[in-house]
Amino acid sequence: MITDMAEESNTAKDNHMAELAAALNERFKPLEVNYDQYFAYLKIEPGALPAVMQSLYDDWGMNYLGNLDAVDYGEEFEVVYHLYGIPAHDKKIAVKVRVPRQNPSVPSLIAIYPTADWQEREAYDLMGIQFTDHPNLVRVLLPDDFSGHPLRKDFGKGV
Amino acid sequence: MEHLFTNIAQILTSWMVSLGLPPIWADLILLIGQWTIIVVIVTLNVIVLVWLERKISGFIQERLGPNRLGPFGAFQTIADAMKLLTKEDIIPSQADRWIFMTAPMLFIVIAVMLYAVLPLGQGMEVVDLNVGLFYFISLGSLSTICLLMAGWGSNNKWSLLGAMRSVAQMISYEIPLAFSLLGVVMLAGSLNLSEIVTAQNRYWFILLQPVAFLTYFIAATAELNRGPFDMPEAEQELTAGAYTEYTGMRWALFFLAEYTNLVAVSALAATLFFGGGQGPWLPSWLWIIIKTYLIMLVFMWMKWTFPRIRMDHLMSFSWKVLIPVSLANILITGLGIEFFRGMGW
Amino acid sequence: MIETETYTINIGPQHPSTHGGLHVEAIMDGEEVKDAIVHVGYVHRSVEKIAESRTYAQFVPYASRLDYLASHLPTLGYVQAVEKLAGIIVPERAEYIRVIVSELSRIASHMIFVGSLAIDLGATTGMVYCFRDRERIMDMFEMSSGQRMIASYMRLGGISADLPESFYPAVESFINDLPGMIAEYHGLISGNEILQERCKDVGILSAQDAVAYGVTGPNLRASGVDYDLRRDDPYGIYPRFEFRVPTGQNGDSWDRFMVRIEEMEQSGRIIKQALRDMPSGEIQAKVPRILKPEKGREVYHRVESSKGELGFHLVSDGSDKPYRVHVRAPSFINLMVLPLICRGGKLQDVITNIATLDPVLGESDR
């Protein structure tokens, strides 16, 4: 399923992202593919994450994990990975996985992207996402004896 | 003017003898008196030196330096000294108490003992020792032990690291320091400092031994723990190295001793390479002060210009550059002396 | 054999050369570093959580406080992210002024880098000369925004005020003096053999490691990777300017130093071009007082800050406050390679490496 999220008219950029989204849809058969003029968004199952990332790394030249963070959507958390390539090319892919609040566990990507190390620790620290297979999943910004995960929407509301 | 101080000493001795003291007692009292005066002057001089260093660093760094207290901020260091005197003396609970406490005292004692043999003018040394240079070098190397004591006694890893560095550094730089002075000794034919001064009647030894002077100057900077060789202190790396745990007056003693050493080493350089008190018009004691201060200014200039050298580079520089160079210098000096003797000079 | 054992030494959080509250746990064998563990978070202010209870416009000063050494750059990143999110078109003149102050910020930040490297290596005087020159930039920021360091000059859709008349002669004389300043740094700091000895072949970061660990900015370019967002993923009006992206070869501390020096020159070129081409006109777009981006939109916008890729991930829920703000802080991610480049070096190299990675802890810890 491909939906157009971009409000603007179909520029060349849009067309490019549309093509990219179509190609991604073709290749990975994900849950959902969107695009706007900046990114092609790829929504997949948490379990499929390492395989998809490895393939993006190897075959698509997405060797640079720019950003990793998590968003609290109430019942679910969404972990977003913004991928680029170095040397620069025009593919920009944001991979998203959704995990339930009760068991927010996502496979760690350290093996593919070492830069995920601290970023995953930060997502664990502030949002409480459990990254399985992370060798050292401890708090990075907050003190070790801190309780709770402050970026969750219910933090400090008596939960 | 030339014999101002020696005359005063003579007058005092004859006065004491006329009071009925045996001459040996009068000499002893005079010796103690001279010694005390030198120690007091040297210590008070540090106040001037600290002010000077701050002013010079201010000049180099386009700042003003101290300028609030007194004319040109001259009383700033006095105020700082008062502050240090009144500060709380903190001894860390885990420190090795006795070693921790005695280290700064020993350090300053060794520093002022250096002045016993320095000729501060014609006939103006406290003790005219015939192994004066030897005494100076051997005492100078003792300060290593004090730094090690300070580092060990503090029971702090930074302090220990700084102390170990200083030991390694000082042992390595003792050797080129002594070697560089050997050339001078060979030319003068004596270890007695006032005789070395007399031997420079015709030429200052800086002209005959420029390499020796350079090696001496570099090795002395390392011995003094001054920048760019201030490994033991290295405030950007070791916080304050061996001095990290010291506060108030104990810390100030280290500070005092470092500047005292600076004066002593500069005075030695003036004595050995720049003809000591020799010079036209002015009395010898004024000349040596002027020369010492000029050499100290160069030390300060270096400190405020260069970054700190790395420990392993420092060691390899000593063993691979300074020692071979100073050895070669000895060889060439020896050959030169033989050659000129053969020529019948 | 004498039995030896390693020991741990804590560099920071209270230490003269850690640029704020950085804590490096160094596992040492004598003077040699066996391993290093980096602890950050001592200046954590939970900026991301604060953002969720501020309106889009109210967060601008917080963004300014992320990288306090180059405060225009994080602000630029944030306001451009919001403009992307809400589809705001910024007037030409404002874009040019943004470029001018951003590049001035970059120069100021690199001057601090040069100065703090000098002082960390024991050359106290080098620091003073850099701060003296940086002061002129601070004066210009004071003219334009009323604030020296944390200017909060950018607004959603523009800037807070037009440049005053006194700004132009100041910036022009500064740009003209810049080559002289850099020559002075070369003479005093980089020309010094001791400093070269301490930087060359110290803390080598290979190009592969740099990319794998997500190192960005001058640190990445020093490793020989030619990647600058201003050119490769341009934002604002950067495509209009002509500049060179300096790169190093070895990825050692020396290259990290030289790359930044040259970046200062290139920033000077950009400012010159921007001053030449700057049109007159509006400085502020019409932005609704209560800005409510469309629900469910999200944007990840990145700018080339003086430390590296500074990204803002914004998620909107249709209210006047962002649903989620994530700051991708380059200092934070660059610090990850510190153990990698310190291993096997000397204790003194750790200080050099921290200085040449140039982290800003306010940004790293958020």
Global pTM value: 0.84
Note whether C249 and C280 are within 8 A (CB).
no
What separation in angstroms does the CA of B113 have from each of B35, B137, B143, B261, B264? Answer: 9, 12, 11, 10, 10
Residue C320 — very low, low, confident or very high, per pLDDT cuts 50/70/90?
confident
The Cα–Cα gap between C138 and C140 comes to: 5
Q: How much is the pLDDT for A9?
A: 45
C349 touching B, CB under 8 A?
yes
Is the pLDDT at A13 greater than 70? The verdict is no
Q: Where does A55-134 show beta strands of DSSP type E?
A: 64-73, 76-84, 93-100, 105-107, 130-132
The Cα–Cα gap between B251 and C362 comes to: 34
Residues of C with CB under 8 A from a CB of A: 40-41, 44, 46, 48-49, 84, 87, 209, 211-214, 225-227, 232-233, 294, 297, 299-302, 309, 311, 313, 315, 323-324, 326, 328, 332-333, 335-336, 365-366
Give the pLDDT confidence of B133-190 residue by residue, as tens digits.
888 888 888 888 888 888 888 888 888 888 888 888 888 888 888 888 888 888 888 8
Looking at residue C284, the DSSP 8-state letter turns out to be: B
Q: Residue C198 and residue B310: Cβ atoms within 8 Å?
A: yes
Q: How much is the pLDDT for A10?
A: 47
Q: Which of A39, A114, A126 sits opposite C212 (nearest CB)?
A: A114
Q: Which of C294, C299, C313 sits opposite A69 (nearest CB)?
A: C313
What separation in angstroms does the CA of C201 have from each of A91, B296, C208, C263, C288? Answer: 35, 35, 17, 21, 54
The set of residues, in sequence order, having a beta carbon less than 8 Å from that of B207 and lying 6+ positions away, is: none
Q: Of all residues in chain B, what percent carry a pLDDT higher than 70? A: 96
Q: Residue C300 and residue A150: Cβ atoms within 8 Å?
A: no
Give the pLDDT confidence of A96-109 residue by residue, as tens digits.
888 888 888 888 88
Is the pLDDT at C297 greater than 70? The verdict is yes
| Residue B251 included in any domain | yes
The number of C-alpha atoms within 13 Å of C217 and in the hemisphere containing its C-beta is 30
What separation in angstroms does the CA of A58 have from each of A39, B323, C67? Answer: 19, 57, 35
C118 chain-B contacts, CB cut-off 8 A: 307
At A65, is the secondary structure helix, strand, or coil?
strand
| Residue B74 included in any domain | no
B239 chain-C contacts, CB cut-off 8 A: 15-16
At B43, is the secondary structure helix, strand, or coil?
helix
Q: How much is the pLDDT for B345?
A: 63
Give the pLDDT confidence of C66-79 residue by residue, as tens digits.
888 888 889 999 99
The set of residues, in sequence order, having a beta carbon less than 8 Å from that of B63 and lying 6+ positions away, is: B57, C128
Is the pLDDT at A5 greater than 60? The verdict is no
Note whether C181 and C158 are within 8 A (CB).
no
Q: How much is the pLDDT for A23?
A: 75
Chain-centroid distance of CA C189 in Å reads: 21
C163 touching B, CB under 8 A?
no
Is the pLDDT higher at B2 or at B208?
B208
Q: How much is the pLDDT for A4?
A: 42
Q: Which of C119, C126, C195 sits opposite B236 (nearest CB)?
A: C119
Q: Which of B165, B228, B237 sits opposite C17 (nearest CB)?
A: B237
Note whether A74 and A96 are within 8 A (CB).
no
Is the pLDDT at C272 greater than 80? The verdict is yes
Q: How much is the pLDDT for A6?
A: 41
- Map tokens 């020799």 to a residue: B278
> What is the per-residue DSSP string for A9-56?
---HHHHHHHHHHHHHHHHH--SEEEE-SS-EEEEE-GGGHHHHHHHH
Give the residue ranges of DSSP H helices in A31-140: 49-60, 116-127
What are the two backbone dihedrals, phi and then psi, of residue C9, each rounded to the nearest 5 degrees?
-130, 135
* Cβ count within 10 A of residue C67: 28
Helix (H) or strand (E) holding A139: none
Return the axis-axis angle of helices B4-18 and B23-60, rounded to nearest 10°: 150
3-state SS track over B253-286: HHHHHHHHHHHHHHHHHHHHHCCCCCCCCCCHHH
A120 touching C, CB under 8 A?
no
The set of residues, in sequence order, having a beta carbon less than 8 Å from that of B73 and lying 6+ positions away, is: B51, B54, B55, B65, B66, B67
Per the prediction, chain C carries an average pLDDT of 87
| Residue B101 included in any domain | yes
B61 touching C, CB under 8 A?
yes
The Cα of C123 is separated from the nearest Cα of chain B by a number of Å equal to 4
What separation in angstroms does the CA of C98 have from each of B127, C68, C73, C129, C260? Answer: 74, 17, 9, 27, 21
Flag whether the ipTM exceeds 0.85: no
The Cα–Cα gap between B129 and B38 comes to: 17
C348 chain-B contacts, CB cut-off 8 A: 234, 237, 308, 310-311
Q: Which of C120, C188, C348 sits opposite B310 (nearest CB)?
A: C348
The number of C-alpha atoms within 13 Å of B124 and in the hemisphere containing its C-beta is 23
| Residue B96 included in any domain | yes
C198 touching B, CB under 8 A?
yes
Helix (H) or strand (E) holding C28: strand C23-29
A14 touching C, CB under 8 A?
no
Is the pLDDT at A2 greater than 50? The verdict is no
B234 touching C, CB under 8 A?
yes
The set of residues, in sequence order, having a beta carbon less than 8 Å from that of A90 and lying 6+ positions away, is: A16
Q: How much is the pLDDT for B279?
A: 73
| Residue B48 included in any domain | no
Q: How much is the pLDDT for B124?
A: 67
What are the two backbone dihedrals, phi and then psi, of residue C284, each rounded to the nearest 5 degrees?
-140, 125
What's the token pair of residue B215? 């090696």
Is the pLDDT at A112 greater than 50? The verdict is yes
Q: How much is the pLDDT for C200?
A: 85
3-state helix, strand, coil in chain C (%, to 5): 50, 15, 35
Is the pLDDT at C239 greater than 50? The verdict is yes
C122 chain-B contacts, CB cut-off 8 A: 227-228, 230, 234, 236, 306-308
Q: How much is the pLDDT for A3?
A: 41
Q: A122-131 b/e with 16+ CB inside 10 Å = b?
A: bbbbbbbbeb
> Which of the other chains make 3 or more beta carbon contacts under 8 angstroms with chain B?
C
C311 chain-A contacts, CB cut-off 8 A: 66-67, 82
Q: Longest C-alpha distance within chain A, in Å?
A: 51
Average pLDDT over every residue of B72-82? 84
Q: Residue C225 and residue A86: Cβ atoms within 8 Å?
A: yes
What separation in angstroms does the CA of C292 have from each of B80, C51, C87, C89? Answer: 60, 15, 11, 16
What are the two backbone dihedrals, phi and then psi, of residue A35, each rounded to the nearest 5 degrees?
-155, 150
Q: Which residue from A minimizes the CA distance to C51?
A: A151
Average pLDDT over every residue of B209-232? 83
At B144, is the secondary structure helix, strand, or coil?
helix
- Report strand pairing: C154-155 vs A93-100: unpaired
* Cβ count within 10 A of residue C160: 15
| Residue B150 included in any domain | yes
The Cα–Cα gap between C46 and C325 comes to: 11
- Map tokens 């920021």 to a residue: C141
Q: Decide: B and A in contact? Rule: 3+ Cβ pairs under 8 Å.
A: no
Is the pLDDT at A140 greater than 70? The verdict is yes
Q: Decide: C and A in contact? Rule: 3+ Cβ pairs under 8 Å.
A: yes
Give the pLDDT confidence of C133-180 residue by residue, as tens digits.
889 999 998 888 888 888 888 888 888 888 888 888 999 899 999 999
Q: How much is the pLDDT for B33?
A: 82
Q: Residue C123 and residue B306: Cβ atoms within 8 Å?
A: yes
Q: Residue C122 and residue B61: Cβ atoms within 8 Å?
A: no
Is the pLDDT at A26 greater than 60? The verdict is yes
Provide the domain limits for residue B111.
90-342
Count structural domains, chain B: 1
Q: Residue C336 and residue A64: Cβ atoms within 8 Å?
A: no
* Cβ count within 10 A of residue B274: 23
- C246: closest CA among C234, C235, C230? C230
Q: Residue A88 and residue C84: Cβ atoms within 8 Å?
A: no
The Cα of B234 is separated from the nearest Cα of chain C by a number of Å equal to 8
Note whether C340 and C213 are within 8 A (CB).
yes
Note whether C353 and C255 are within 8 A (CB).
no
- C245: closest CA among C204, C274, C202, C216? C216
Give the pLDDT confidence of A36-93 residue by residue, as tens digits.
878 888 888 888 888 888 888 888 888 888 888 888 888 888 899 988 888 877 788 8
> What is the per-residue DSSP string for B231-255?
TTT-TTTSTTGGGTT--HHHHHHHH
The number of C-alpha atoms within 13 Å of B145 and in the hemisphere containing its C-beta is 13
Q: Residue count of chain C, please give it.
A: 366
Average pLDDT over every residue of C278-299? 83
Give the pLDDT confidence of B102-125 residue by residue, as tens digits.
888 888 888 888 887 777 766 666
The set of residues, in sequence order, having a beta carbon less than 8 Å from that of C14 and lying 6+ positions away, is: none
Average pLDDT over every residue of B261-267? 87
| Residue B59 included in any domain | no
Beta bridge partners of A72: A77
C196 touching B, CB under 8 A?
no
In single-letter form, the type of residue at position A38 comes to Y
Note whether B273 and B213 are within 8 A (CB).
yes
| Residue B94 included in any domain | yes
- Map tokens 């201010």 to a residue: B58
Give the pLDDT confidence of C328-365 residue by residue, as tens digits.
989 889 888 989 888 888 888 888 888 888 888 888 88
Q: Give every strand in the sheet of A40-44, ordered side by side.
A: A2-4, A32-35, A40-44, A93-100, A76-84, A64-73
